[in-house]
Amino acid sequence: MSGATATDSTGGSALTPPPGAETPVRHPDAPEPGTPLGSHYEQCFGCGEAQSHGLHLEARAGEGVGVTAEFTVRPAHQGAPGLAHGGVLVSALDETLGSVQWLLRTIAVTGRLETEFVRPVPVGTTLHLRAHCTGVSGRKIYSSAEGRIGSPDGPVAVRARAVFVEVQLEHFTKNGRPEEIKAALDNPDQHKVVRAFEVNP
Ligand SMILES: CCCCCCCCCC(=O)SCCNC(=O)CCNC(=O)[C@H](O)C(C)(C)COP(=O)(O)OP(=O)(O)OC[C@H]1O[C@@H](n2cnc3c(N)ncnc32)[C@H](O)[C@@H]1OP(=O)(O)O
């Protein structure tokens, strides 16, 4: 390896805000720090309360354009005996990073996500996650996250950097399976309709 910064078809250093990127601005209607964000969609693998196989991750608004979250590793999340599966940990990071969009009131999907696995995470561990936005460049939203074992000040187990790409509602209505899209849109609770797709209220 030459040590040069990795580039790709997305036009540059993929996970670092480019020169000229805007400083992220917390939306004026973003919930106060400490406010639970709740599940954005009941069937979400990351946060859905009705998703029996899911992570049941609980996120809260943090300071600035940031969030905190907790996720307890259950036996269903194992890879190696007694240890969390790496993909499950990536899902927890993805969900936490995705929750940051709620403070920007932007609809965006994960374009790229890089994870560093620092320590194994045993079953029964509560992972304390935090994520914040590092910059915005056009439709690209850059963010980073970390997860610590046992407490917000515990040892770092995972770190991630990501770029999310802003999309329109049609991204979901055109690409999602019609029955779930219809059910989500037909929910009489308008707040839940908005949250399911993270549409600007
Ligand atoms: C409380 C809320 C909680 C929410 C939690 C949710 C957490 C979960 C979040 C997810 O996991 S979302 C599901 C996983 N992601 C996807 O399924 C996305 C699949 N990919 C796509 O749909 C499209 O590839 C995508 C929308 C990302 C981009 O397609 P577009 O055709 O809109 O992009 P376009 O080619 O117009 O590029 C727009 C900009 O984005 C850049 N770009 C495109 N794809 C990219 C990529 N993959 N990575 C990084 N940058 C990307 C591209 O270079 C360009 O930059 P510039 O404006 O500077 O030229």
Mean pLDDT of 128-147: 98
- Percent of the chain scored above 90 by pLDDT? 81
Each residue's pLDDT tens digit, 107-117: 999 999 999 99
Is the CA virtual torsion 142, 79, 152, 32 positive or negative?
positive
pLDDT score at 1: 39
Question: So what's the pLDDT on residue 3?
Answer: 41
Which of 56, 109, 173, when mutated, tests ligand 1's pocket best, judged by the most ligand atoms within 8 Å of its CB? 109
DSSP 17-74: PPTTPBPP---TTSPPTT-B---SSTT-TTT-TT-TTS---EEEE-SSSEEEEEEE--
Structural domains in the chain (count): 1
Q: Provide the residue type at 200 as one letter.
A: N
Beta bridge partners of 115: 160
The predicted-structure confidence for 34-63, as pLDDT tens digits, reads as follows 999 999 999 999 999 999 989 999 999 999
Which residues line ligand 1 at a C-beta cut-off of 6 Å?
10-11, 14, 37, 40, 46, 94-95, 98-99, 102, 109-112, 138-140, 163, 165, 167, 198
Q: Is the predicted pLDDT of residue 8 greater than 70, yes or no? A: no
198 versus 172: the higher-pLDDT residue is 172
Reply yes or no on whether the pLDDT at 200 is more than 80: no
Q: From residue 153, give the alpha-carbon distance in Å to each of 37, 91, 166.
A: 22, 21, 32
Residue 137 belongs to a domain: yes
Minimum CA distance residue for ligand 1 atom 24:
111
In a domain, 30, yes or no: no
Does some domain include residue 143? yes
In-domain check, residue 3: no
The domain spanning residue 106 has which CATH number? Answer: 3.10.129.10
Instruction: State the average pLDDT over residues 68-85.
Output: 98
Q: Which domain holds residue 156?
A: 20-25+35-197
Q: What's the confidence (pLDDT) of residue 129? A: 98
Q: pLDDT tens-digit profile of 10-29? A: 545 689 999 999 999 999 99
ipTM over 0.90: yes
Q: Give a yes or no: residue 192 inside a domain.
A: yes
pLDDT, residue 101, reads: 93
Q: Is position 9 within any domain?
A: no
Domain annotation covers residue 6: no
Alpha helices by DSSP H, 71-168: 86-99, 101-104
- Other Cβ atoms less than 10 A from the Cβ of 81: the count is 6
DSSP secondary structure, 110-134, as one string: EEEEEEEE-S--BTTPEEEEEEEEE
Of 66, 36, 199, the closest CA to residue 144 belongs to 66
